[in-house]
Chains A and B, each alone.
Chain A
Amino acid sequence: MTASTTAPPMIRMASVQKHFGPLHVLKDIDLEVPKGQVVVVLGPSGSGKSTLCRAINRLEPVDSGVIEVDGRPIPQEGRELARLRAEVGMVFQSFNLFAHKTILENVMLAPVKVRRQPAAEVRKSALELLERVGITNQADKYPAQLSGGQQQRAAIARALAMRPKVMLFDEPTSALDPEMVQEVLDVMTGLAADGMTMLVVTHEMGFARKAASRVVFMSEGEIVEDSTPEAFFTAPKSTRAKDFLGKILTH
């Protein structure tokens, strides 16, 4: 771990607290994601893992604590925050593709509007991205005309179009029909293999085993375990993790 002493981690959270009314959803969260790592966040629903993911680009403001991206604390709402968000890719459970724009326009929007890159150039790289996620032939369709799996791959391409330093995935396969999960996971596995720094909230144990550098297990707003996938799946330390794995792996 000598590299981590020289370069700042891509994501650093320290003593992060967050309440939703009386509910304490993030309890004193400390987490570092070094450059190039793929961290998979597991946990039962309501454990705060989505909130943790959304806190990193401040879609969910936190009550207190430090959150840094690439060594810089995330700013307050405004121009600086928009600039930071442009460098952090995000993929949502419900895809959230812009419904009134074609797939190609979805991918092109942010580079043109935010980065002010010339449209012709953006179009070329957008088509390359669509090819990378395997939906070039859907470029001129509207989101509603695509399957869930295709929509989510388009959403990944849209996030990648900003050439982000890090990608956040908030349950990217939870809204998909089972037969479409794999095509999305394949794209994500490819990204991980290319060295993208990723934080992935998911229920896909197969993906965690195969692609994760680390597994973080959350329960009731706390990080309960932080270990290698190997160690987590074969020898979980906490009873909560054992319970969770028992429930998931028995059916």
Chain B
Amino acid sequence: MGVLTDNLPLFLGGFRTTVLLFAVAAVASLVFGTILAMLRVSPVPILRGLGTLYVTVVRNTPLTLVFLFFIFAYPLLEIVKLSYFTGAVVALSVYTSAFVCEVVRSGINTVPVGQAEAARALGLNFGQILGSVVLPQAIRAVAPPMMSTLIALLKNSTIAAGFSVAEAGAIRQVLSEKGENQLLALIWVAVGFILLVMVLTLVQRALEKRWSRAR
């Protein structure tokens, strides 16, 4: 307990950065991943191709490599300067949205054809059909795998510690330099992550319960 209580500001600061990193990357991945999924089910072949290309490239690239790209290679392009934190957000979002895309797309495939057909018969356009009829049902159908993707994002965020972002994954290193017990330090970091994941699991359960009738 000493390791935790003696270094509480360090732990709180680390986890605050983790939560912030996670929250921003999660929103960005959900939005961008859903747009990618819409591309992948679009009737326009070029858009479909773009979506498929993105998923194929990004999903098959190790996350560390994506980080290396945005922290070390991207600055050479001299477009917009990214701080380490922003670079980490971008790397995590780019990577996770490929997975979100596939989860959303599998959800879209579970929605019966008749739903979109009824919407077309009422005069809704493609965007309205996706936005009002298909996507809401698709998201409801994939709450568990979507939450798994977000949990993976939360844990993946610790890679940012290797790229000068002082999130929870960096706590051990600081404590090691202070001569603290590293085993205890790591256990407390793990406990922190377990608590955060439990929150996400509770959110998932609440959503599943709420949506059980309406699908």
Instruction: Using A82-B125, A86-B123, A144-B213 as known contacts, say yes or no to A92 and B133 having CB atoms under 8 A apart.
Output: no
Query: What mask results when residues 199 to 215 of chain B are scored 1 for a CB within 8 Å of chain A, else 0?
Result: 00000000000010111
| A162 located at the interface, meaning its Cβ lies under 8 Å from any Cβ of chain B in the complex | yes
Contact A162 B123, beta carbon cutoff 8 Å: yes
Residues in chain B near residue A100, CB distance under 8 A: 136-137, 140, 211, 214-215
B101 smallest CB distance to A (angstroms): 21
| B197 located at the interface, meaning its Cβ lies under 8 Å from any Cβ of chain A in the complex | no
Contact B124 A110, beta carbon cutoff 8 Å: yes
Contact B115 A79, beta carbon cutoff 8 Å: no
Contact A85 B213, beta carbon cutoff 8 Å: no
A-B contact pairs, 17 of them (CB 8 A): A79-B125, A82-B124, A84-B123, A85-B120, A85-B123, A88-B121, A90-B121, A92-B114, A96-B115, A96-B118, A98-B119, A99-B115, A99-B214, A113-B124, A113-B128, A113-B132, A158-B118
**CA separation between A141 and B136, bound complex, in Å?**
17
| Chain A facing B: main interface SS | mixed
Residues in chain A near residue B121, CB distance under 8 A: 57, 59, 85, 88-90, 92, 159
| B122 located at the interface, meaning its Cβ lies under 8 Å from any Cβ of chain A in the complex | yes
| A125 located at the interface, meaning its Cβ lies under 8 Å from any Cβ of chain B in the complex | no
- With A85-B122, A92-B114 already in contact, 13 other A-B pairs whose C-beta atoms are closer than 8 Å: A59-B120, A82-B124, A88-B121, A92-B117, A92-B121, A98-B115, A98-B133, A99-B215, A100-B211, A110-B122, A113-B132, A114-B122, A158-B122
| A94 located at the interface, meaning its Cβ lies under 8 Å from any Cβ of chain B in the complex | yes
Instruction: Using A113-B132, A145-B213 as known contacts, say yes or no to A96 and B122 having CB atoms under 8 A apart.
Output: no
A59 smallest CB distance to B (angstroms): 6
On A, residues with C-beta under 8 Å from B are 57, 59, 79, 82-90, 92, 94, 96-101, 109-110, 113-114, 142, 144-145, 155, 158-159, 162
A-B residue pairs, 9 tightest by C-beta: A86-B123, A96-B118, A110-B122, A96-B114, A90-B121, A114-B123, A85-B123, A100-B214, A82-B123
Residues in chain A near residue B114, CB distance under 8 A: 92, 94, 96
**CA separation between A98 and B136, bound complex, in Å?**
10
Selected from B132, B211, B213, the residue in CB contact (under 8 A) with A109 is B132
Chain B interface residue count, CB cutoff 8 Å, equals: 22
Contact B137 A99, beta carbon cutoff 8 Å: yes
B102 smallest CB distance to A (angstroms): 22
- Within 107-160 of B, Cβ neighbours of A (below 8 Å) are at 112, 114-115, 117-125, 128, 132-133, 136-137, 140
Residues in chain A near residue B211, CB distance under 8 A: 100
Residues in chain B near residue A90, CB distance under 8 A: 118, 121
Residues in chain B near residue A57, CB distance under 8 A: 121
**CA separation between A83 and B122, bound complex, in Å?**
9
Selected from A86, A101, A145, the residue in CB contact (under 8 A) with B122 is A86
A79 smallest CB distance to B (angstroms): 7
**CA separation between A59 and B119, bound complex, in Å?**
11
Residues in chain B near residue A98, CB distance under 8 A: 115, 118-119, 133, 137
**CA separation between A94 and B124, bound complex, in Å?**
19
Residues in chain A near residue B128, CB distance under 8 A: 113-114
Contact B214 A92, beta carbon cutoff 8 Å: no
B133 smallest CB distance to A (angstroms): 6
**CA separation between A87 and B114, bound complex, in Å?**
19
Max chain B CB contacts within 10 Å: which of A89, A100, A110, A114?
Answer: A100
Contact B117 A114, beta carbon cutoff 8 Å: no
Instruction: Using A92-B118, A96-B115 as known contacts, say yes or no to A142 and B124 having CB atoms under 8 A apart.
Output: no
**CA separation between A145 and B120, bound complex, in Å?**
24
**CA separation between A84 and B211, bound complex, in Å?**
34
**CA separation between A100 and B215, bound complex, in Å?**
5
B141 smallest CB distance to A (angstroms): 10
Residues in chain A near residue B117, CB distance under 8 A: 59, 92, 96
